[in-house]
């Protein structure tokens, strides 16, 4: 089954392909489709739905979208749904991934409560009337320094409670067991397998 993945992020496509196993994920750019919807929702689910609906209107074929981010308790849930754009406005440019997590570390200096969680929302649209939404979390805390070379995004500074390790220190297959996207994608795969009779 071919699924259009409402993203321009190759890292996310690689991870989601691995998690779903057996489904071909096609990015809009793979087929020359210009795709940059305004993610103006107030929640992860709303943003996932916005992306899924925008791409579905173009391709009229099965579409999967995700929205994810890191919510830090002591920062009032920030960066939250703005995780991918964290610090960009203040800097007047798009920060690199490392600049984003280093900024977060600086904003957490002197704060004892470092509890945080990753959130992933997935939206699958199969037809005008058939859609599924799944949201999952990964509980943990913000480390005091970056560590590890695996993963992407905020993984180098996120300590996963259940794994007892920094996310970026875990091999990809091991990280999938604990991650927010791993949990959500396993449930989505059950739905897809049922739809395709696997």
In this structure, what are the phi and psi dihedrals at residue 123, rounded to the nearest 5 degrees?
-125, 125
Residue of 10, 30, 66, 67 with catalytic role:
67
Contact 151, 97 (CB under 8 A): no
Is residue 13 helix, strand or coil? helix
Nearest residue to 16 via CA among 125, 197, 172? 172
* Residues contacting residue 35 through CB under 8 Å, at least 6 positions apart: 6, 8, 28, 29, 54, 55, 58
Residue 67 is a catalytic residue: yes
Q: Is the dihedral of CA 46, 52, 55, 60 positive or negative?
A: negative
What is the phi-psi region of residue 164: left when phi exceeds 0, alpha when psi lies from -120 to 50, beta otherwise?
left
Active centre residues (catalytic):
67
């Amino acid at each position: 089954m071919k699924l259009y993945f409402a993203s321009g992020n190759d890292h996310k496509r690689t991870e989601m392909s691995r998690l779903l196993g057996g489904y071909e994920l096609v990015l809009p750019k793979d087929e020359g489709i210009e795709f940059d919807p305004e993610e103006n929702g107030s929640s992860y689910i709303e943003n996932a739905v916005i992306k899924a609906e925008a791409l579905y209107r173009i391709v009229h074929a099965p579409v999967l979208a995700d929205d994810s981010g890191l919510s830090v308790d002591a920062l009032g849930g920030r960066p939250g749904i703005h995780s991918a754009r964290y610090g960009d406005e203040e800097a007047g440019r798009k920060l690199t991934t490392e600049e984003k997590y280093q900024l977060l570390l600086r904003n957490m200096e002197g704060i004892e409560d470092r509890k945080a969680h990753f959130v992933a929302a997935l939206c699958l649209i199969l037809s005008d009337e058939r859609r599924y939404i799944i949201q999952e979390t990964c509980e943990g805390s913000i480390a005091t320094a970056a560590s590890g070379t695996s993963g992407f995004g905020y993984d180098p500074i996120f300590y996963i409670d259940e794994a007892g390790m920094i996310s970026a220190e875990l091999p990809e297959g091991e990280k999938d067991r604990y991650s927010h996207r791993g949990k959500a994608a396993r449930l989505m795969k059950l739905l897809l397998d049922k739809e395709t009779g696997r």
